Amino acid sequence: MKNVLVDTGFWLAISNPNDKYYKKAMTWLVDNQDVNYRFVTTWVVMCESFFLIKNFVSYQKAVELFESYSRSEFDIFDLKKEQSIRAIEIMKKYEDLDIDLADITIVILAEQLNTGDILTVDKNDFNTLRWSRNKKFKQLMR
């Protein structure tokens, strides 16, 4: 099974048919339904996603995302206290770019799982960010 990192924008896109990335996200899901992928995200991404979906789509859609987690359709990575040192290092490295905490936790998750395969609509940040010091993210939704 291959882990795929999932960022907020992807969750938002698949939750909202009016989102400009909805078709692209749904096409990716359909085209890859037979591939043995396991989606993985972070609690920070989940909190951000729930907030945005609740406020820009509907409360019910936000609940549906969390229900899919309760059915074990994806995993949520829990940032450990000892990983906060790495998070701070990343924050300082990208300080001038105003990278948010959700993206920083995705970098740590990439390092934890040894993969940069990501579903995101945030092309700017994930073209810039590096995991394991110098590895580029592979944005699957092109």
Total count of domains within the chain = 1
Q: How confident is the model at residue 133 (pLDDT cuts 50, 70, 90)?
A: confident
pLDDT at 53: 98
pLDDT in tens, 45-88: 999 999 999 999 999 999 999 999 999 999 999 999 989 999 99
Report how many helices (DSSP H) and strands (DSSP E) the chain contains, helices first: 7, 7
Mean pLDDT, residues 36-49: 97
Strand partners, 119: 6
Spatial distance between the Cα atoms of 6 and 128, rounded to a whole number of angstroms? 17
Cα–chain center distance at 51: 14
106: domain CATH number is 3.40.50.1010
Spatial distance between the Cα atoms of 64 and 16, rounded to a whole number of angstroms? 12
* Torsional class of 17: left (φ above 0), alpha (ψ -120 to 50), beta (otherwise): alpha
Domain encompassing residue 66: 2-139
